[in-house]
Amino acid sequence: MSTATAAPKGAAAAAATRNARRTGSTNVMRGGSPLIYFVALIVVAFTLGPVLYGVVSGFRTNGDLVLNPSGLPDPWVLKNYSGILTDSNFWRYTLNSTVIALITTLLVVVCGVMAAYPLARYKFKGREGLYMIFVAGLLFPATVGVIPLFILIRDLNLNNTWWGIALPQAAYALPLTVVILRPFLQAIPNELEEASQLDGASRLGFFWRILLPLSGPGLVTVGVLAFVGSWNAYLLPLLLLLGDNKTLPLGVADFSAEHSTDIAGVFAFTSLAMIPALIFFLAMQKRIVSGLQGAVKG
């Protein structure tokens, strides 16, 4: 009897040890390891460090920056930021960047979902080949075709206009948009489409009333990526925009050139130029992650 009793106890102890090991490994995978927290802290420091340094340096004087570049402001001054906020050029640059980013985002979302819908829901000859054309578009950055693009925009009389920047930016953003949205649309069950057709809905009705609402996270993801990419664009606006139609990145470059000795003012201008896109991206962070997860699952 003692031997029979000891055997189950030994088996139970072994099972408990295995469960403890599994629990420990699960905790490590979930981020419980101090090493993972340490590495994450280093990554966050390298990522946010330059941003925080630029924002804080905007509250300093030029003399303070020269004497103690890595210190805190002493004293804290607001004239750098107030001077930028009262500058009409800053708000004109902001308006241009905002309008161009909104036009680009609208074009990317509308054209992207319309292109991804047939590639995801229809079956026709050459579908995968057509999709691979969009995938191949990811391999070609805007710098490759910037000279022919400049000539084309000039011949269309769209240079130095909002549409002349928004249209090429939307075109370069479409490949990534289609790649993200296609698996998202494929993941929607076919039973929903069949049920809607039995209820009398057309393909367009299914697309508008059912598919678009269910694809909300994916649309938000591509919209945010398009907006932030357009806001930070520099090369294309540099070639096509002049005078009052310049965007914020070009405004930062002009301000840096005109006020090269005002280091604190340059920090303030740069911080104000990047903060809107940063706040917008952080506010939509959860939606972006959920949208990308849906694309991967699809």
Q: Where are the domains of the chain?
A: 87-297
Answer whether 143's CB lies under 8 Å from 236's CB.
Answer: no
Tokens of 127: 């579908």
Structurally, at CATH architecture level, domain 87-297 sits in Orthogonal Bundle (1.10)
Q: What is the pTM of this model?
A: 0.78
> What integer pLDDT is reported at residue 22 of this predicted model?
53
Q: What is the spatial distance between Cα 24 and Cα 294, in angstroms, rounded to a whole number? A: 29
Q: What is the spatial distance between Cα 265 and Cα 133, in angstroms, rounded to a whole number? A: 46
**Which residue would you say has higher pLDDT here, 136 or 23?**
136
Q: Which residue has the tokens 């330059």?
A: 50
Q: Tens digit of pLDDT for each residue in 37-77? A: 888 888 888 888 888 888 888 888 888 888 887 778 878 88
> What integer pLDDT is reported at residue 17 of this predicted model?
56
- Per the document, the length of the chain is 298
